[in-house]
A and B are shown apart, each in its own frame.
Chain A
Amino acid sequence: LAKTTQPISMDSYEGQEVNITCSHNNIATNDYITWYQQFPSQGPRFIIQGYKTKVTNEVASLFIPADRKSSTLSLPRVSLSDTAVYYCLVAMGRRALTFGSGTRLQVQP
């Protein structure tokens, strides 16, 4: 299973763009990259998923370089409600979904 490495924590201010990078050096050809968000006392919630290049939805953008050994979750103009833990996962199909420790994002006013 591909192991992921993320920063333990990040701080930001309201209105700023936040970029969280995840390393996954041994990603397999069939693996997709998925990001989740978790608030306290709740289960993680899907944010975005991609295979290569760039994916954008109403919540975030995901940038994946050509070698796919890393990915960057971009949150535009964060607000206090974006304070959460963000997890990067690399998996495909029926293989296990293994979460790392995630990145704790603290947004301040």
Chain B
Amino acid sequence: DVKVTQSSRYLVKRTGEKVFLECVQDMDHENMFWYRQDPGLGLRLIYFSYDVKMKEKGDIPEGYSVSREKKERFSLILESASTNQTSMYLCASTAGGVTEAFFGQGTRLTVV
């Protein structure tokens, strides 16, 4: 069974902290994505990566960075967490050339 695993289901952090959200996929997929989802706003793309060490900005990259040192792992980094980054974060992966995306279970991050 294919799997995208996010390191935490729930996370509470303080304003100003550096936060790491980890995502691992076991399908040898080339492409990986990070989204945030807020009520009424759908899923908004933060960053994506189509290869190891490659990254591209999505629609809302400000305040975030990413790291992809290994093909199976894609990390989202909040350099200095702020309360407006309180959200549900979703990671996804796809194989090259197709667009069936597999999603993780999500991380609900609260910044206080």
Residues of chain A touching chain B, judged by Cβ–Cβ distance below 8 Å, are 32, 34, 36, 41-46, 49, 85, 87, 89, 91-94, 96-102
Given contacts A96-B33, A99-B45, A101-B41, are A43 and B99 in contact (CB under 8 A)?
no
Interface residues on B, range: 20 to 34
Q: How far does the alpha carbon of A10 sit from the alpha carbon of B21 in the complex, in Å? A: 34
**Closest B residue to A36 using CB positions:** B101
A96 near B43 with CB under 8 A, answer no
- Produce 1/0 per residue, B79-109, CB < 8 A to A: 0000000001010101011111111111000
Q: A91 to B45: give the CA distance in the assembly, Å.
A: 14
Contacts of B4 in A (CB 8 A): 43
Q: Which chain B residue shows the least CB distance to A46?
A: B100
From A42, A87, A96, A100, give the contact of B58 (CB < 8 A).
A96
